[in-house]
Amino acid sequence: MPTECVANPRQRALADAIVRMLPLDEIRILLACGSKVNEPVTQGLRPLHYAVWQKNLPAVNLLLVRGADINATDDCGYSALHLASEHGTHQRRHAGSIASLSVSSIAFVGICPMLQEQLGYVVMLVTQGQTERFITKSRTGKKFISRLTVMLLSYGADPNIKVESEPDSNQTLRPPLAELLASNETTTSEELHLLLRYGAKVCLKTQYRDPDGLLNCLAHVPANSDVFTDLLAAAEEFDPCMIRRSNYLTDDQKSRLLEVATNPVPLKAQCRTFFRRLLGRTLPENVPSLFIPGVLKKYLLYEHSS
């Protein structure tokens, strides 16, 4: 067990309770007995990271109500929203941290019955870096993750959060929207609109040119899809030169991107960009009070795109 876990057993007990999906009353008792919502358990992972990773929605809500830092990052630079955007199912450098829990801690709700009888193998799989998707049921699907994302955003999670690289590295952790597009074979319009509604920036440049750049994250977004159309409509910046030179884009994607990038931005799209920059994170709360037609309110909130 990592040294920091031995030094702070209350935080480890809290993490175990969250991962084991224990009743909220037991988590409240741990908090009352000295466990902290914002102190790391190991490698910078806060209790909120464990709750989101485990898709423990009641625990997420409790931690947020108790003042959990929504934008806190672990030692790898991941925030809770990054985990929600990745659906909590992809291999990360902290897989070993989750695997360091006891066998009883791994026996959480969701493991298929066959693997419940062989928990030792589950521990081995996680230790070797197997994804949680391999060992869990599909019942905790995208609809559930969307609820998690809504909760995180409504409590103030930054949809554009990114972590600058360390001095000896040239990599920057991408914003949640980039992780969503790059880490999932299919992204729905609802997931995209949710992040856009709370201020996620769409910059169709390379990440080398702009830390918010999404140009190299579109491999799983077909040119004829609604998501691609919505990204074009929401884009604030383009880089035609890199679009032409990109090896990550198909010919159809390049054609559509260049068509939009080389033509004037429609007035309606300019207005939406203006209000997004003016209202920022408060856009969802302030749009209903604007003295404008209802159809424009829906357009500003990405409830429809045209």
φ and ψ at 162, to 5 degrees? Answer: -150, 155
Residues 6 or more apart whose CB falls under 8 angstroms from that of 210 comprise: 203, 237, 239
Q: What is the CA angle 179-180-182, rounded to 5? A: 65
SS3 155: coil
Q: What is the distance in angstroms between the CA of the first residue and the CA of the last residue of the chain?
A: 54
In Å, how far from its chain's centre is CA 120? 30
Residues 6 or more apart whose CB falls under 8 angstroms from that of 2 comprise: 42, 43, 97, 100
Q: Please name every residue paired with 42 in a beta bridge, in sequence order, or none if there are none.
A: 45
- 209-227 pLDDT, tens digit each: 888 899 999 999 999 999 9
Instruction: Read off the pTM.
Output: 0.61
What is the helix, strand, coil percentage profile of the chain, to 5?
Answer: 55, 5, 45
Residue 180's domain spans which residues?
167-306
Last residue of a domain, one of 158, 180, 208: 158
| Same-domain check for residues 144 and 188 | no
Listed in order, strand segments (DSSP E) in the chain are 203-204, 237-238
* Bigger pLDDT: 121 vs 149: 149
Confidence grade of residue 106 (pLDDT, cut at 50, 70, 90)? very low
Residues 6 or more apart whose CB falls under 8 angstroms from that of 6 comprise: none
CB atoms within 10 A of CB 152: 26
| Same-domain check for residues 152 and 14 | yes
| Same-domain check for residues 262 and 115 | no
* Bigger pLDDT: 298 vs 70: 298
SS3 134: helix
| Same-domain check for residues 4 and 150 | yes
| Same-domain check for residues 132 and 230 | no
| Same-domain check for residues 211 and 76 | no
| Same-domain check for residues 213 and 148 | no
pLDDT for residue 239 = 94
Confidence grade of residue 238 (pLDDT, cut at 50, 70, 90)? very high
| Same-domain check for residues 172 and 284 | yes
| Same-domain check for residues 121 and 259 | no
- 81-99 pLDDT, tens digit each: 787 776 543 333 343 433 3
pLDDT for residue 133 = 40
Last residue of a domain, one of 125, 158, 191: 158
pLDDT for residue 163 = 66
CATH of the domain at 31: 1.25.40.20
- Decide if pLDDT at 3 tops 80: no
| Same-domain check for residues 240 and 138 | no
| Same-domain check for residues 15 and 107 | yes
pLDDT for residue 44 = 87
Residues 6 or more apart whose CB falls under 8 angstroms from that of 136 comprise: 110, 111, 112
**Considering its fold, how many domains does the chain have in total?**
2
Q: Please name every residue paired with 163 in a beta bridge, in sequence order, or none if there are none.
A: 173
| Same-domain check for residues 285 and 306 | yes
Q: What is the DSSP letter of 163?
A: B
Beta carbons of 248 and 215 less than 8 angstroms apart: yes
- Decide if pLDDT at 279 tops 80: yes
Last residue of a domain, one of 158, 177, 211: 158
Q: What is the DSSP string of 232-259?
A: HHH--EE-HHHHHH-SSS-HHHHHHHHH
